[in-house]
Amino acid sequence: MRRTIVKGIIIFVPIVFCLLLGQVISAQGAEGTPLSCYVGNPDDDQYLGDVEVFTLAGAASICNRTYSDCNGNCTACYIAEDGSQICIDVTGRQYVNQ
């Protein structure tokens, strides 16, 4: 009887672990934020493309690494929940783009 219980635990624990791990991975995938990358000021309409990030820290740096045309001067923008466009410049400053 004891052997059956131990065997059940040995099978049950990895299954629970895999299910929990799957939840963590799927939750991370759902939280990505699409960024639009622009050279310099987004109002100049020098759009390069989009990237998806899981944190906004260093968003402009991600655009700079992704698109060589940035030449270190990319601005990353995303649409906030209220519909406004928030931009992040290379210094990390966030502002609402009107």
pLDDT in tens, 5-54: 656 566 654 554 444 444 545 445 557 999 999 999 999 989 999 999 98
Task: Quote the pLDDT of residue 31.
Answer: 77
- The DSSP 8-state label assigned to residue 46 in this structure reads -
What is the edge-to-edge ordering of all strands in the sheet holding 47-53? 47-53, 33-39, 74-79, 85-88, 94-97
Task: Quote the pLDDT of residue 46.
Answer: 95
Is the per-residue pLDDT at 4 higher than 80?
no
